[in-house]
Structure 1
Amino acid sequence: MLCSHVLRVMEILYLEDIRAKHILKRLTKDARDILHQHLVQYQRDNSVNLSFTCRHSTLYPKAMEVVRMRDASAAAFDHVFAGLDALLLSGAPFAEKRDGYGFEDHMAGLTPGTLP
């Protein structure tokens, strides 16, 4: 890996290419497949491994946007409400297969009276 001084010299000499041997894979777009095991659940492009926290922090802003759109007018309310009904019907088959990362799954593993 090249230090900032070498990069500055390359800039002065108008060199535009860095040899591949000096580029670490962890600094490229292809580094997604070399995550540590405890970080794999946060990988954005792998929806199966989304953690409990990541799922909720991703879903919550979208849900709030739907609520904001619904409050715009009576027509918007009717449209959003009909869309939510359609979403509930189309999403039901997906909700039947649980992967253990959901809120209900998380809470089911706790003994009553304890915090997660």
Structure 2
Amino acid sequence: MRTPLAPDMFDPVCPSELSPIRFGDKWAGLVIRCLEGGPRRYSELRVPLRRVSPKALTASLRSLERTGLVARTVRTAPVRAVEYALTPLGHSMIAPMNAACAWASEHWDELLDAREGLGTR
């Protein structure tokens, strides 16, 4: 039995679109973070990604699968289940994401100011 994903894994006050560095579509980075610890079912991903519409989450998963970052596995026994997991290529995204997150954290106030139109022009 794997540890469930925390519902508050992502801070709702921290918009993912604030970072100028994006990995895939708007939600791909968050999906990759959810899969970092191992395979997950769609329903498990919905817990921390509750603000993502089901349609957008499905589109993000499909896009990540097309680009080779995520593998989708259908299990038929003992019950039918679909799991998503990072591929080796997907796991290679973790280090660049950590660097981007560290940079965004360091420049958080500047990013907020710029977003609110308070940055220098």
Give the TM-score normalised by structure 1: 0.26
Higher strand content, 1 or 2: 2
Larger Rg over CA atoms: 1
Between the two structures, name the one with larger relative contact order (CA 8 Å, sep ≥ 6).
2
Higher share of residues assigned helix = 1
